[in-house]
Amino acid sequence: MSEFASSANKEADSVSGNGFAMGMLTLLFFMWGFITCMNDILIPHLKSVFSLSFSQAMLVQFCFFGAYFLVSLPAGRLVKAIGYQRGIVSGLLVAALGCFLFASATEFPVFALFLMALFVLASGITILQVAANPFVTELGHPAKASSRLNLTQAFNSLGTTLAPIFGAVLILSVAAQESGTQISGVYAVRLPYIILGSVLIGLALTFSCIKLPAIDLSSHEPTLGKRWLWKEPRLLLGAFAIFTYVGAEVSIGSVLVNYIADDLGMGFSESEAAWYVSFYWGGAMVGRFIGSYLMRSLDPARLLAISGLGAIALLLSTMMTHGALAMWSVLLVGLCNSIMFPTIFSLALEGLGSRKSQGSGVLCLAIVGGAVVPLAHGGLADIAGLSLAFILPVMCYLYIVFFGFQSRGR
């Protein structure tokens, strides 16, 4: 009887510890969502300040998401060497450094300096991604991994929903009230990034003091050199699905301010248009809460395919219409995006067992789609206009539909 009570107490402590760990990790998902979505405000702002084309402005996303490709594998090795918890602290400190470098770049109004600072910031976020995503998949029953990732991604989406409002108030509105010179426009980004850097420092101190559950790292070797990786078609198909999903989501969000303010003829300023961007990311937040519940009983792959078809229909609608209908069509794509990343991530990792961390490293590399697709989208927008350029995300979602159908019943 005493052995049973002891076992029950240990199980209760484990559940309690996992719940606390999930709560703390949720804060990280919120913060990197917030920081990532700030790029949607930076792009139209820096485009105006430095008189950039769309393809030049998209270098913001190229440098930010390019860090995922260059830093993911070194980050994986770092996490293996120092552990998940210290990896999280390291990621927070590097991201904080990037924020302070970004704020410091306002002293020298050169676009390249801002891009360098964004790369450092994104490197810190990459370390967090490599450590936190597999951590979440391990905190509970494997069958509920999609549900847990959707729940944490819902709070990631809360960050992306609030970021455009934060940026509209502290960057676009402030810049509009100033004299309109390049110097005043550049200085508008200083305070927001000092605030973000300070918050990240606070989180790093918090994570250095708390105790998180230990996870076995003995078989975690984040490398692409293992032959077995190339014999896992589901992992490779999932990696390209991550590439196309992140590329589509980021490229749409990157042009929304300019699309709503300039192309739809609704008379919005950029700061007003930025508020509507929150509906795009807010749809993803609502959908992830719903998806976390639905995936407890429904096939995640089927929901993924349906979501992809919905995104395609909405983008075709915005391409063929104008005004309010076109605006709300593209904003509702966020709702379709809601379950895609965590669902693709967990589906691609199914069946990898102890190799899950290595598979996670491959999937994190694929986030480079957020660098490549927006750059191509910007070039297409320069040639054909913002509306017709949405054909590129449509092609991305077509592949996601294929991956969803291909993964059903496995």
Contact predicate 290/154, CB 8 Å: no
Continuous H helices in 300-355:
300-320, 323-331, 333-337, 340-349
Expressed as residue numbers, the domain containing 308 is 2-210+222-407
Closest CA to 64 of 278, 250, 259: 250
Q: Which helix (H) or strand (E) holds 100?
A: helix 84-104
278 occurs within a structural domain: yes
Query: In the structure encoding, which two tokens stand for residue 121, read together?
Result: 């910031």
Are 246 and 366 contacting, i.e. CB atoms less than 8 angstroms apart? yes
Residue found by looking up tokens 């998401």 in the block: 65
- pTM attached to this predicted model: 0.87
Tell the residue number behind the tokens 């992140």, with chain if given: 246
Residue 78 · residue 395 · CB < 8 Å: no
What is the distance between the alpha carbons of residues 214 and 83, in angstroms, rounded to a whole number?
A: 9
Could you give the C-alpha distances from 355 to 137, 220, 223, 402, in angstroms and in order?
Answer: 13, 7, 11, 25
Is 215 within the bounds of a domain?
Answer: no
Residue 349 has what pLDDT?
A: 85
Does residue 121 sit within a domain?
Answer: yes
> Which one-letter amino acid corresponds to residue 188?
A
What CA–CA distance (Å, rounded) separates 135 from 17?
Answer: 13
The pLDDT value recorded for residue 18 is 64
Q: Quote the pLDDT of residue 180.
A: 54
Q: What is the pLDDT of residue 229?
A: 66
pLDDT at 15: 44
pLDDT at residue number 183: 58
In a domain, 217, yes or no: no
Looking from the CA of 215 toward its CB, the CA atoms found within 13 Å total: 29
Q: Does 10 reside within a domain?
A: yes
What per-residue confidence (pLDDT) applies to 14? 45
The residue type found at 280 is Y
Is position 388 within any domain?
Answer: yes
* pLDDT on residue 6: 43
Number of compact structural domains in the chain:
1
CATH code of 45's domain: 1.20.1250.20
Residue 274 lies in a domain: yes
Q: What is the pLDDT of residue 140?
A: 60
Asked if residue 216 belongs to a domain, the reply is no
Mean pLDDT split into 10-residue runs, the chain, 410 residues: 42 51 82 94 93 96 93 84 88 97 91 96 90 67 62 80 92 73 74 95 90 60 55 88 97 97 89 94 84 80 94 97 96 93 87 73 86 97 96 98 84
